[in-house]
Amino acid sequence: MVRVLAPDHPLSGRALRARYVYRRYGRRWLALELPDGGVVSVEVEDTDVLDAESVVTVPDGTSTLTNEGARRLLGLLGACMAHSATAAGEGRAR
């Protein structure tokens, strides 16, 4: 679940399921699923996705994901994979 944080956004404070992430106009966007099944796009920066403690620096200078960061990354990757599979299926049907 992704929480919309931007105070001026109509969905501010709502926690919604992320379906996939994409880049447009040089910015990153999340497609979020509304309770009625509709989909709305929200800039990644307007959500809590980047607020999670996702990276920890270890003594040798490398970075690693925390459990929370890894869980969120896996969720986004799963949503992207599902979207890609659906798009590929639609492409074959044409």
The values of phi and psi at residue 14, to 5°, are -80, 140
Q: What is the pLDDT of residue 54?
A: 46
pTM for the predicted model, two decimal places: 0.53
Q: What is the pLDDT of residue 32?
A: 92
Per-residue pLDDT tens over the stretch 16-58:
998 888 998 888 999 999 999 899 999 988 888 876 554 555 5
Coil, helix or strand for 88?
helix
Higher pLDDT, 70 or 35: 35
Is the CB of residue 17 less than 8 Å from the CB of residue 34? no
**C-alpha neighbours within 13 Å on the C-beta side of residue 35:** 3
pLDDT value of position 60? 65
